[in-house]
Amino acid sequence: MSVQRKTMVVKIGSSTLVGEDRQIRRDFIADLARQAAELRNLGWNLVVVSSGAIACGAPKLGFAKKPADMPSLQACASVGQCILSAVYDEEFRAASLLTSLVLLTRHDTACRSSYLHARDALTRLVELGVVPVVNENDTTTVDEIKFGDNDTLAALVSCLVSADLCVTLSDIDGLYTANPSLDPTAQFIPRVTKIDAAIIGSAGDSTTSVGTGGMITKIRASRILMTAGIASVICSGAEENALVRLASGESVGTLFVPPADRLEIAPRKLWIALGDSAHGSVTVDDGAAAAVVQRGSSLLPVGITAVEGSFSTGDVLDIRDRDGFVIARGRAEAGSDELELARGRRQDEIAGNHLLAALSGKPAIHRDQMIVFA
């Protein structure tokens, strides 16, 4: 009887892939390939989410530093992606492993059918023994359709392939109570079982010149993974043999543990959480927050205290508590103008207002179209 294989997603940041000399670290990718081969022998498949295209392309095009304008960034990504893919191919082939290139944008995943096609393609590649190398398609993306950081992309890919573990290799060895480069009293946090406002507040911004993310994006991605029931780790890219050690059950970096009592999340709700970026947000009172989080209720207009952004029916919204903490995400049953008029009103008031007739008898966000974060 065949043994069920596990799947690990590893996200590698630009600052880990590209050295101070602005050249791609071939030795790092060679060691990654060695670990991938060892993981395969341990019963694990590997999917790589790789940053670095812009950082690799910029010096080849003569830029002294990362350019600021979009066309130049896209040109750097186009050149750098070729360089990056070639090195992955060469080093993984030397370890008898085949890689593939998968480029995604929000445009690909915001549409439910495209999201499912991406899931099927990635799943089949893994089944065929390929190591997919996934990146955002920075050559064609603009701000409106960008993931914004590869931490979010790694969380998305982990959900698409139903990963058992998502590992972020970074320039820091894990999560601290404060930014250790600024606060010498910062304490290392080896294990996180719940991401609350205090954990979010401990995150600092990116301090590197080649990356686009920071600890805050990693924590937000880990929170989504915890919601999906997927464990995740943040550790240093310089940590020796980190992936193999993690696969063997060793503690490396900071482990984010999903709640033991977390029910299985419907794939459609994971798509709501990750497929598209939020088009706006609603702030709710304490009663509505409790109803959504503790009782799994739909969000009614009466519980909304503020509406932010311009959005339409069906757009994805963040649901925030009165402190601004995002507690859930869902698809709006009405546009921003209607919800602004309806917020704070009871259902009988809405029913008696001809301007709000479309919301009569309906919630602002239905629980079947909502995912509550762990």
Has 194 been labeled as part of a binding site?
no
Has 70 been labeled as part of a binding site?
no
The CA-based angle 214-220-224, given to 5 degrees, is 145
Residue 108, classed as helix, strand or coil, is helix
Has 150 been labeled as part of a binding site?
yes
* CA separation for the pair 371, 296 (Å, rounded): 9
Has 216 been labeled as part of a binding site?
yes
Has 6 been labeled as part of a binding site?
no
Q: Which residues contact 364 (CB under 8 A, 6 or more apart)?
A: 282, 298, 299, 300, 301, 304, 332, 333, 334, 339, 342
* CA separation for the pair 114, 110 (Å, rounded): 8
Quick one: which of 275, 50, 270, 55 has its CA closest to 145?
Answer: 275
Token digits for 295?
């009782």
Has 313 been labeled as part of a binding site?
no
Has 123 been labeled as part of a binding site?
no
Q: Which residues contact 207 (CB under 8 A, 6 or more apart)?
A: 181, 214
Residue with tokens 């043999």: 241
Has 214 been labeled as part of a binding site?
yes
Has 140 been labeled as part of a binding site?
no
H or E element at residue 102:
strand 99-104
Has 51 been labeled as part of a binding site?
yes
The CA-based angle 237-199-191, given to 5 degrees, is 55
Q: In terms of DSSP H, where are the helices of 146-277?
A: 150-160, 197-201, 215-228, 242-247, 267-274
Q: Kindly write down the DSSP assignment for every residue of 185-206, as one continuous string.
A: T--EE-EES---HHHHHT----
Helices 112-127 and 150-160: crossing angle in degrees, nearest 10, is: 70
DSSP state of 292: H
- Other Cβ atoms less than 10 A from the Cβ of 337: the count is 13
Dmax (CA) for the chain in angstroms is 71
Query: For 324, left (φ over 0), alpha (ψ -120 to 50), or beta?
Result: left
Residues tagged in the binding site annotation for ATP: 11, 170-171, 212-218
Residues tagged in the binding site annotation for substrate: 51, 138, 150
Residues tagged in the binding site annotation: 11, 51, 138, 150, 170-171, 212-218
